[in-house]
Amino acid sequence: MENMRLLLISNSTNAGEEYLKYPIERIAEHLKGVKEVIFVPYAAVTFSYAEYERKVQNRFNEIGIKVRSIHREKNPAKAIRNAEAICVGGGNTFALTKKMQQQGLMSAILRKVKSGTPYVGWSAGSNVCCPTICTTNDMPIVEPESFKAIGAVKFQINPHYLDANPEGHAGETREQRIEEYIEANPRRYVVGLREGCMLRLVDGKLELIGSRPMRIFKRGQAAYEVKAGDDLSFLM
């Protein structure tokens, strides 16, 4: 944990803004000194991996970092082992997980981040940093080997966390779905990471970045809010 450098972002794009615009300065700070990142584009479903690589590169041009997509590599796990830094993009978490498992990337990334290599993930890319992908919002459009993910952190993230219950919606709220998860997984914390927020782990210290609070769920406790600056060591 001491060596890990993780930046786990809820969403890539705030409403009405350009792609990856709001977190790019934080990404630049997190990747200071890095010249090239290995990018995992496998959450893309309705557009190509090459297109995804271009989209991220366009934003990373602003911070002078080259983006190299792992789909171009003959040996993806080796590319991770040699990476200066790793970025995992958002999209469908199940599609991402299936491909990462097929290529042995979960364990390769865990070993790499434990050695201090910086990791940046947004949305599905944050989900896969958790022990499992069970708190994703996505539809299981493909079937991975299992729900197991990288396990770089001990808690679960629910990205794009919403408090709202839209008028006329008769299904479960996000909170009710997470309460079902903690009932079935009593030892696990779940954090509801709202839009425009991110978690940063550096030097063994976890911090919330963003203007909105994060919601904490654990079986046997009433859900509660923490804000930027609050002590999050209980999650570690």
pLDDT of residue 168: 67
pLDDT of residue 169: 65
Per-residue model confidence as pLDDT tens digits over 188-215:
999 999 999 999 999 999 999 999 999 9
Catalytic residues: 123, 138, 160
Residue 221 makes CB contacts below 8 A (sequence gap 6+) with none
Q: Say if residue 133 is exposed, middle or buried (CB neighbours under 10 Å; 0-12, 13-18, 19+).
A: buried
Residue 119 makes CB contacts below 8 A (sequence gap 6+) with 4, 5, 6, 7, 85, 86, 87, 88, 109, 113, 129, 152
Q: Which fold has domain 6-153+192-212+226-235?
A: Rossmann fold (3.40.50)
pLDDT of residue 166: 65
Tell me the C-alpha distance between 207 and 227, whole Å. 9
One-letter amino acid for residue 61 of the chain: N
Per-residue model confidence as pLDDT tens digits over 12-26:
999 899 999 999 999
Tell me the C-alpha distance between 145 and 44, whole Å. 19
Pick out the chain residues at pLDDT < 50. Answer: none
Distances, alpha carbon 152 to alpha carbons 32, 84, 114, 171, in Å: 21, 17, 8, 32
Residue 151: helix, strand or coil by DSSP? coil
Residue 100 makes CB contacts below 8 A (sequence gap 6+) with 40, 42, 106, 109, 128
